[in-house]
Amino acid sequence: MSRTVWTVIGVIVAVIVAWFLVDVLFSLLWFIGKLAIVAVVAVVVFFALRYFVRRPDEQKSIER
């Protein structure tokens, strides 16, 4: 009887720990994915700003 109780308690603790670990893992993966998307958008915005802010004489030399 005592062994069955400890088995049930062990299963409950294992599920709680697994739930916590999966939650942390998904939070970390979401953060990494979001960071990658922000990096790509930042690079696109940087080059767009660089294109629109350059001086007219620089635009002529590029068009040639």
User: pLDDT by residue (tens digit) across 9-21?
Assistant: 999 999 999 999 9
* Whole-number Å distance between alpha carbons of 13 and 18: 8
Domain ranges of the chain: 2-63
**Nearest-angstrom CA–CA distance, 22 and 18:** 6
Q: How high does pLDDT run on average in the chain? A: 91
The residue ranges of the chain whose pLDDT is under 50 are none
Nearest to 34 by CA among 42, 46, 23: 42
pLDDT at 57: 72
For residue 60 the two structure tokens come to 């002529």
What is the pTM for the complete model shown?
Answer: 0.61
Alpha-carbon separation of residue 38 from 45, 46, 48, 50, 56 (angstroms): 10, 12, 15, 18, 30
